[in-house]
């Protein structure tokens, strides 16, 4: 299984709001990468169009997703809830070679889940004070609307300060991470589980750090 490597460019400043992330990445020519690997084709063949792009600054990661899918689900409005059941984009990453990783999961209206640990079980949820540090923008707004049927496109932008890596010493000093990006929707009419890097497991499982690719933080 070939693992991908992506260089995240260094930008000169962190924008004041997440709504500014997309235009900043446009201005610096940061291109989108496809989240298109269908790992479990027989049971979950549906594949919305999902892409991400990422850059970094001296104090944060800038992540920008865009998605087109046949329906949109936005039910969860409380951080730390079941965001993966909605139209959801996810970023799993490990900033250190210590066997742990973080999952930053965000539904299409910017409701977040952040946790840390060695594997799927016994993960430590980030306190709300940590999740509040992540600035979020959604083209769909921030309020729940249930399920909208019919093809829809939406954009989600995040500013993730390095202090969100709450179990690691600050300032976070690293020139690369291992990571994977996902698009899912567990309770949507067409449940789906797409990834940037492929996952070699019999059943859907994003908690597979051995399948992470490499994210280079350019200087």
Distances (CA, A) of 85 to 1, 12, 111, 126, 212: 28, 36, 12, 19, 22
Residue 97 main-chain phi, psi, to 5 deg? -90, 65
What's 5-217's CATH class? mainly beta
Q: What is the pLDDT of residues 86-118, one digit of tens each?
A: 999 999 999 999 999 999 999 999 999 999 999
Is the pLDDT at 2 greater than 90? The verdict is: no
- What pLDDT score was predicted for residue 142? 98
DSSP sequence for 138-197: ETT-SS--EEEEEEEEEEEEEEEEGGG-TTS-SS---SEEEEEEEEE-TTSTT--EEESS
- What pLDDT score was predicted for residue 219? 84
- What pLDDT score was predicted for residue 216? 98
Domain ranges of the chain: 5-217
- What pLDDT score was predicted for residue 113? 98
Is the pLDDT at 119 greater than 90? The verdict is: yes
- What pLDDT score was predicted for residue 21? 98
The DSSP symbol for 11 reads P
Whole-prediction pTM? 0.97
- In 3-state terms, what secondary structure has residue 38? strand
Is the pLDDT at 1 greater than 80? The verdict is: no
Q: What is the pLDDT of residues 75-92, one digit of tens each?
A: 999 999 999 999 999 999
Q: What is the pLDDT of residues 31-77, one digit of tens each?
A: 999 999 999 999 999 999 999 999 999 999 999 999 999 999 999 99
Q: What is the pLDDT of residues 140-176, one digit of tens each?
A: 999 999 999 999 999 999 999 999 999 999 988 889 9
- What pLDDT score was predicted for residue 196? 98
Quick one: average pLDDT of 125-140? Answer: 98
């Amino acid at each position: 299984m070939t693992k991908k490597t992506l260089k995240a460019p260094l930008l000169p400043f962190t924008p004041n709001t997440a709504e500014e992330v997309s235009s900043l990445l446009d201005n610096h020519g940061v291109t989108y990468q496809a989240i298109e690997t269908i790992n479990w084709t027989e049971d979950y063949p549906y594949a919305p169009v999902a892409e991400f792009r990422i850059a970094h600054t001296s104090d944060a990661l800038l992540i920008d997703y865009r998605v087109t899918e046949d329906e949109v689900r936005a039910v969860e409005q409380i951080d730390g809830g079941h965001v993966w059941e909605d139209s959801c984009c996810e970023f799993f990453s490990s900033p250190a070679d210590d066997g742990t990783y973080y999952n930053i999961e965000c539904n299409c209206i910017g409701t977040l889940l952040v946790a840390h640990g060695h594997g799927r079980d016994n993960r430590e949820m980030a306190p709300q004070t940590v999740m509040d540090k992540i600035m979020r923008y959604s083209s769909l707004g921030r309020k729940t609307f249930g399920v909208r049927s019919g093809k829809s496109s939406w954009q989600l932008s995040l500013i993730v300060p390095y202090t969100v890596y709450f179990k690691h010493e600050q300032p976070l000093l690293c020139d690369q991470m291992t990571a994977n990006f996902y698009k899912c929707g567990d309770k949507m009419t067409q449940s789906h589980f797409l990834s940037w890097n492929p996952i070699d497991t019999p059943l859907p499982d994003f908690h597979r750090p051995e399948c992470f690719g490499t994210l280079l933080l350019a200087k």
